Amino acid sequence: MYAITGITGHVGGAAARTLLAAGEQVRAVVRDPAQGEAWRRAGAAEVAVADFTDPAALAAALDGCRGAFVLLPTVATGGDAEHRGLADAIAAGVAGSGVLHVVALSSYGADLPDGTGPVRWLHHLENALRGTGAVVTAIRSPHFQEKAGDVLPAVLADGVYPVFASSADVEVPMAATRDIGAAVAAALTDPPLTSEVVDLDTPQYTERQVAETLAGLLDRHVEVVVLPRPAWTDAFLGAGLPPELAAELVALYEATDRGLLVPRGDRTHPCTTPLETTLRDLVADAVAAA
């Protein structure tokens, strides 16, 4: 059996669905028992209730499983100490559970201790997990294709696609979360003998290509607007983000612009879902919700 935390999110949910489709048993680890019932109906063999801030509860939730998937949630109003403390609590839960193999969602750039915005917390998580005694598979992903959903409201309302970079015409790798979940499932069912870092090898696109794909799906003109660096913080704050998260996102996009978020792992895992597939789903969900 495999314990999946973050199962109500994109990556955890995709990992669970991939495992269930392959006939594997899944223990859904949730904070809300009601969410667990939905996964029980979806085929999860067991449901465990635990919060990442509670190492004892997390240890109990992972106990007896062949492997577990963990991730570090972003606390919108949290700072460095809060996220590092959360990573330490997750590691304590893993250590207390005795689980032999843990797969962690990480990011390109997590090999660097700082200068990468919120990715530095994943650097801390990876190292904390390696100190638990478990074999650790760190799945390092580039930006998610689904991040286009963050600017989709501006596209729908004003036909504007904002770009937080120095250019809209530089290709960058973008991973679909369904592929990340599949990579997690593959790592869980085929664990390595020693800890490793797996870089996701994904399609590459420019921000202009993202905007053009959205324009085609929406059948409307979409203007690409490259925001100057001094305008980034105000743009994030204007979108309703708290100052703490706005500052971290600015640092993240600066790190991307500087070329710091690159693969440096032990091996790669291919991801093949094209951008148009992901954007079509995002647009369909947005239209259905309107």
Q: Which residues of the chain have pLDDT under 70?
A: 290
Neighbours of 212 (CB within 10 A): 15
CATH 3.30.70.600 fits 2-289, yes or no: no
Residue 205, SS3 per DSSP: strand
Contact in structure between 203 and 271 (CB atoms under 8 Å): yes
DSSP conformation class of 36: H
pLDDT at 290: 67
**Predicted confidence (pLDDT) per residue in 14-31, tens digit:** 999 999 999 999 999 999
- Rounded-to-integer distance, Cα 163 and Cα 207, Å: 7
**Type of residue found at 280:** R
**Predicted confidence (pLDDT) per residue in 266-285, tens digit:** 999 999 999 999 999 999 98
- Rounded-to-integer distance, Cα 282 and Cα 277, Å: 9
Alpha helices in the chain (DSSP H): 10-21, 33-41, 55-62, 80-97, 119-130, 152-158, 177-189, 207-218, 232-238, 243-257, 275-289
**Type of residue found at 269:** H
Please give the model's pTM, rounded to 2 decimal places: 0.95
- Return the domain boundaries, the chain: 2-289
